[in-house]
């Protein structure tokens, strides 16, 4: 791997060399996919040959006062590959053709070191590497689920770019791993051993096949059946345009300091979570857009509810089925009802893909036309916004900083709202099928979401 990075004169590739981080784990084992991995695998198969959209790509910077050497970085990687089974897992097919997770006991992770001259604009190098990574699919059967390029100046690593396979790790797992890496270097390149009862993906797969796991699966199936046995989920608005499938999707983003401030203040005043505030405001707008008092959503559940799973470096997130009745509700009431509905959804979440597919086929018109959910929200925030203290100034004072942009489409979904957070802003990314929700409607939805949150926060909730 040696992309042509734009920071070099005359377009020459930056000098690089390959290193390897060896690992020796406690065990080698093989297990079925967990329920979460089954969901991710289905998304990957459906997206082929563009399944690289499920790569988790990011960058990092090393503080100037603590930049490690290349050897120290390889040593750290060996430590974490040995520590976490998910990082040394591959996903081949067994003799029956089923995809499984296989934990390796030993091996090597290739790591590329890219030399950057002091005058090279680092941000350009990083963006070029991220763009390169974003289009490369994993060889799941035999490739470790992590690729890493480290940027080096004068023998010291100052940053890098990573890409994880979503089969192995999710956003919360990456955040926990990043926290561990920080502590590792801060505390003398060591960490306490993981607790004996720490769950792994392979362990979780075994539990999910146990009587306790089957009871959880059946509870989830019963919950979904109770919601939709008598009615279909909320449908998209009627089509207003006739476009070929490949031209039907657009993606827009709204970056808002005002919404960040407003959500924190509303959560503080109502005693709910920031996530409930966002879901409640979104659901209320969907009610008004569709004319339906019942709003049904796919939410993403972290599945990190127990002590054993809270700090797992793994992919645990699963879709959960959320339904709320917003008849006669204003925004404060919508937030309260959404909070209660979300708790119910999360308490009844967790199921294998085959069982859920069978149920959705039964609730719909068969396997070819199962029950479908048109509206999805994926709140990928790390949770910092929930604990932040609201600022004193009116949220409306920050509206001038709002930025709206159109983005390249990454996932072809009928209505897919992603929520990300920064230090002082929220970013809402909305993908829509413009045959049903045209581009002006997409922009209007995002701006109305922001303004409804700001108005409620400044009115004192």
Give 262-307 pLDDT, tens digit per residue.
999 999 988 999 999 999 999 999 999 999 999 999 998 888 887 7
Residue 109 pairs with which residues in a beta bridge?
21
We report the CATH number of the domain holding residue 132 as 3.30.559.10
Out of 187, 222, 253, a domain closes at 187
Do residue 216 and residue 182 come from a single domain? no
The C-alpha atoms of residue 385 and residue 276 are separated, in whole angstroms, by 12
Please report whether residue 200 resides in a domain: no
Last-in-domain residue among 172, 187, 202: 187
Residues in the chain: 461
Q: Is residue 3 part of a domain?
A: no
Please state the rounded mean pLDDT for residues 27-35: 97
Q: What is the pLDDT of residue 371?
A: 93
The pLDDT value recorded for residue 120 is 58
Evaluate whether residue 406 is within a structural domain.
yes
Q: Are residues 325 and 392 in the same domain?
A: yes
Count CA atoms within 13 Å of residue 160 on its CB side. 20
Mean pLDDT across 50-79: 90
pLDDT at 46: 86
Domain CATH number, residue 370: 3.30.559.30
Q: How large is the average pLDDT for residues 97-121?
A: 88
For residue 3, pLDDT over 70 is answered with: no
Question: Vertex 134, ends 166 and 184: CA angle to 5°?
Answer: 60
Distance between CA 9 and CA 13 in Å, rounded?
Answer: 9
How large a percentage of the chain has pLDDT more than 90? 73
Is residue 357 domain-shared with residue 215, that is, in the same domain? yes
Cα–Cα dist 357/411, whole Å: 21
Whether 343 is in a domain gets the answer yes
In a domain, 1, yes or no: no
Range of 253's domain? 210-458
Residue 279, domain member (yes or no): yes
Q: Which H helix or E strand runs over 131?
A: helix 122-133
Same domain, 275 and 164: no
Kindly state whether residue 194 falls inside one of the protein's structural domains: no
Rounded to 10°, the helix 211-228/201-208 angle is 70
Cβ proximity of 316 and 303 under 8 Å: yes
Checking if the pLDDT of 11 tops 60, the result is no
User: What number is the average pLDDT over the span 373-390?
Assistant: 73
d(CA 411, CA 300): 16
Residue 244, classified by CB atoms within 10 Å of its CB into exposed (0-12), middle (13-18) or buried (19+), is exposed
The span from the CA of 16 to the CA of 421, in Å, is 33
Q: Final residue of a domain: which of 187, 221, 239?
A: 187
Total count of domains within the chain = 2
Alpha helices in 152-248 (DSSP H): 171-186, 201-208, 211-228
The pLDDT, as a whole number, for residue 7 is: 38
Residue 403 and residue 319 share a domain: yes
In this structure, is the dihedral angle defined by the CA atoms of residues 322, 217, 303 and 430, taken in order, positive or negative? negative
**Nearest-angstrom CA–CA distance, 181 and 132:** 25
* Residue 149 and residue 287 in one domain: no
- Verify that 157 and 272 share a domain, yes or no: no
Strands 100-103 and 29-32 come out as antiparallel
Q: Are residues 407 and 260 in the same domain?
A: yes
SS3 of residue 241 by DSSP: coil
**pLDDT(318) > 50:** yes
Q: Please name every residue paired with 327 in a beta bridge, in sequence order, or none if there are none.
A: none
Model confidence at 53, pLDDT cuts 50, 70, 90, reads confident
Residues 385 and 445 in one domain: yes
The whole-number pLDDT of residue 277 equals 96
Whether residues 258 and 361 share a domain: the answer is yes
Provide the percentage of residues in the chain whose pLDDT is more than 70.
Answer: 93
Rounded mean pLDDT, 21-44 = 95
- Does 202 fall in a domain? no
pLDDT band at 390 (very low <50, low <70, confident <90, very high): low
If you average pLDDT over residues 384-398, what whole number do you get? 70
The verdict on 327 and 399 lying in the same domain is yes
Confidence (pLDDT) at 185: 93
Question: Could you give the CA distance from residue 28 to residue 206 in angstroms, rounded to a whole number?
Answer: 15
- Which residues have a Cβ under 8 Å from the Cβ of 456 and sit 6 or more positions away? 262, 266, 281, 331, 332
Based on the fold, state whether residues 297 and 375 are members of the same structural domain: yes
């Amino acid at each position: 791997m040696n992309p042509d990075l734009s920071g070099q004169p005359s377009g020459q590739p930056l000098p690089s060399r390959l290193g390897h981080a060896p690992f020796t784990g406690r065990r080698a084992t093989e297990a079925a996919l967990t329920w979460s991995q089954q969901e991710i695998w289905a998304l990957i198969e459906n997206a082929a040959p563009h399944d690289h959209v499920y790569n988790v790509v990011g960058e990092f910077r090393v503080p100037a006062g603590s930049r490690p050497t290349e050897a120290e970085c390889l040593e750290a990687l060996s430590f974490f590959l040995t520590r976490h089974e998910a990082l040394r897992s591959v996903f081949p097919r067994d003799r029956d053709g089923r995809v499984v997770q296989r934990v390796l006991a030993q091996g090597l992770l290739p790591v590329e070191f890219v030399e950057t001259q002091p005058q090279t604009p680092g941000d350009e190098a990083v963006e070029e590497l991220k763009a390169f990574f974003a289009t490369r699919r994993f060889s799941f059967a035999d490739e470790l689920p992590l690729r890493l390029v480290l940027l080096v100046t004068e023998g010291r690593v100052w940053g890098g770019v990573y890409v994880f396979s979503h089969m192995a790790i999710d956003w919360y797992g990456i955040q926990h791993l990043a926290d561990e890496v920080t502590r590792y270097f801060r505390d003398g390149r060591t960490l306490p051993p993981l607790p004996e009862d720490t769950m792994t993906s392979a362990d979780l797969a075994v539990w999910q096949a146990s009587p306790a796991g089957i009871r959880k699966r059946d509870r989830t199936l019963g919950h979904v059946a109770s919601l939709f046995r008598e009615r279909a989920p909320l449908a998209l608005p009627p089509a207003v345009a006739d476009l070929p499938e490949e031209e039907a999707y657009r993606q827009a983003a709204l970056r808002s300091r005002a919404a960040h401030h407003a959500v924190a203040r509303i959560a503080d005043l109502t005693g709910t979570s920031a996530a409930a505030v966002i879901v409640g405001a979104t659901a209320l707008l969907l009610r008004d857009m569709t004319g339906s008092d019942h709003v049904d959503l796919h939410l993403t559940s972290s599945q990190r509810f127990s002590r054993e799973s809270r700090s797992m470096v793994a992919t645990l997130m699963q879709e959960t089925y959320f339904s709320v009745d917003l008849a006669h509700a204003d925004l404060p009431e919508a937030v309260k009802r959404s909070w209660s509905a979300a708790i119910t959804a999360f308490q009844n979440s967790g199921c294998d893909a085959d069982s859920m597919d069978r149920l959705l086929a039964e609730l719909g018109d068969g396997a070819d036309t199962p029950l479908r959910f048109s509206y999805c929200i994926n709140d990928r925030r790390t949770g910092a916004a929930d604990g932040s203290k609201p600022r004193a100034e009116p949220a409306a004072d920050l509206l001038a900083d709002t930025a709206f942009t159109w983005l390249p489409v990454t996932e072809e979904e009928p209505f897919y709202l992603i929520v990300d957070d920064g230090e002082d802003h929220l970013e809402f990314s909305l993908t829509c099928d413009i045959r049903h929700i045209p581009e002006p409607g997409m922009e209007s939805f995002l701006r109305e979401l922001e303004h409804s949150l700001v108005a409620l926060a400044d009115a004192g909730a």
